[in-house]
Amino acid sequence: MTNRTAFITGASRGIGRACALALADAGARVAIAARNSAQLEEVASVIRLQGREAFPVSIDMTSADSIREALGKTAKDFGPIAILVNNAGITKDGLAIRMKRDDWDTVLATNLTGAFLACQLVLQNMMRERWGRIINISSVVGEMGNPGQANYVASKAGLIGLTKALAQEMGSRNITVNAITPGFVETGMTANLSQDLKDKMLEHIPLKRIGKPEDVAAAVRFLASEEAGYITGHVLSVNGGLYM
């Protein structure tokens, strides 16, 4: 993937940050997108210290205009996007019976609709180039469900369906579309969980450890590579055996 431009959403921390560093290390020119500009600049400086190129860009995944502007600016100023990693995601948890419509809409807009719009915008150039990699970061809960997360689970399950539909539509153009379903990973999203809850989760993980962002980034790096050119429509579990 040397000198190909990769665009990673939610790249300011956690899994997105690890993906940006891994793709940069593999030779990609990395556009990193998120809402927090200060955190993006920190990630960009780390990438540049590796001797690689980084392009921080602000994005709001609930805004079609923001997504269009960020991707357009990247393509114009940094190079056509050949690799898209849809990683941005939020949670607004609550039991379905009491879930506010706004909490449903915001999570679906960010996690699923935003990813779809980003796919739409990068596919035109990928089709022209007859090469592309789209990697959607779903979640193990999109496969197995989780109480109190109807909105998040629906959005992540939707990403799996989107992945498979796009893979079928784009296969003849040499564009691969795959999903990764991380399990329980050490990120800001899981940092606030109690130790008791973490211990209970570990009981169900055969590998007996919590995942690291780098575990997911390694899978992203592989799926973005030339070596993964015959893999599409696949859902790659990175969950320590939590769900099989």
Catalytic residues: 152
- Dihedral in degrees, nearest 10, Cα atoms 26, 68, 56, 30: 10
Q: How far, in Å, CA of 89 to CA of 110, rounded?
A: 6
Q: Which amino acid is at 58?
A: S
* The 81-86 sheet, strands edge to edge: 54-58, 29-34, 5-9, 81-86, 132-137, 175-182, 235-238
Q: How far, in Å, CA of 10 to CA of 15, rounded?
A: 8
The pairing of beta strand 81-86 with beta strand 5-9: parallel
